[in-house]
Amino acid sequence: MPEAGGLYYEWHGDAKAPPLILSAGLGGSGSYWQPNLDALAEHFRILLYDHRGTGRSDRALQQTHARDEGMTFDVKELMDGLGIVSAHFMGHAAGAMIGLSLALEWPERVRKLVAINGWARPDPHFSRCFDARLALLRSEGPGAYISAQPIFLYPADWSSRHNARLNEEAVHMVDHFPAVDVMERRIGALRRWDIDDRCQHIEAPTLVLAAADDMLVPPLCSQRLAERLPNAKLAMMPWGGHACNVTDPETFNRVVLDFLRR
């Protein structure tokens, strides 16, 4: 398997096209972007990777004092290892946190940034959601955690229509679930991360994209993020839930490509 610095990665698309790094959310797996991969790879050289502690990457988190558990430094090291001087970056939730942090700490590495269902500061609602998910994980284990996950990720009617698919995916997710302490540290990083008073230093052109019916990260988080960034555009999808790139990939791909190719 291709890896750099302990991170599994994949290239997709024309090697001569501009690079675009895709960073998943809490689950951490690059396979999260499957519904969007073909459309994006028509125009960009796509770099997928699995976050450390998840998927096919090194399953143990490094000891670090970084507030984001080293997730941003991992991406910078991956770029160095693959000889990527700068790239477009698109991140979902935890991946949005990584992209914003990368643009803040190493601004020369980020051309354009897409932050999906992200935030500038912790929010009481998603903290409440994480409390419930952690309690379920600790008391009932990964199976119960994965079974409840669609409640937070997808609109109810979409989950109903795709119940068989979700059940099949759940088996794979449980088999490849990170260690509980890894998941606890990753959730802890999301809850601590706060750049509300530093957003003005992020100069990369940024698309802040949110779904109006996100049940995990309230859309007001994206609204505030867009207001705080000096060079941002807010795009609000009317439907799609937290995983709007999965539930409505056609709309999502169109909005993202319009921004990145402009």
For 214-228, the pLDDT digits (tens) are: 999 999 999 999 999
CATH number at residue 82: 3.40.50.1820
pTM reported for the whole predicted model:
0.97
Q: What would the pLDDT profile of 29-50 be if each residue is shown by its tens digit?
A: 999 999 999 999 999 999 999 9
Angle of helix 34-41 relative to helix 249-261, nearest 10 degrees, comes to 40
* Residue 206, domain extent: 3-261
Q: Count of domains in the chain? A: 1
* Phi, psi values for residue 53, rounded to 5°: 90, -5
Q: How many Å separate Cα 68 from the centre of its chain? A: 13
CA distances from 127 to 8, 43, 227 (A): 29, 37, 22
Q: Does the pLDDT value for residue 74 go beyond 90?
A: yes
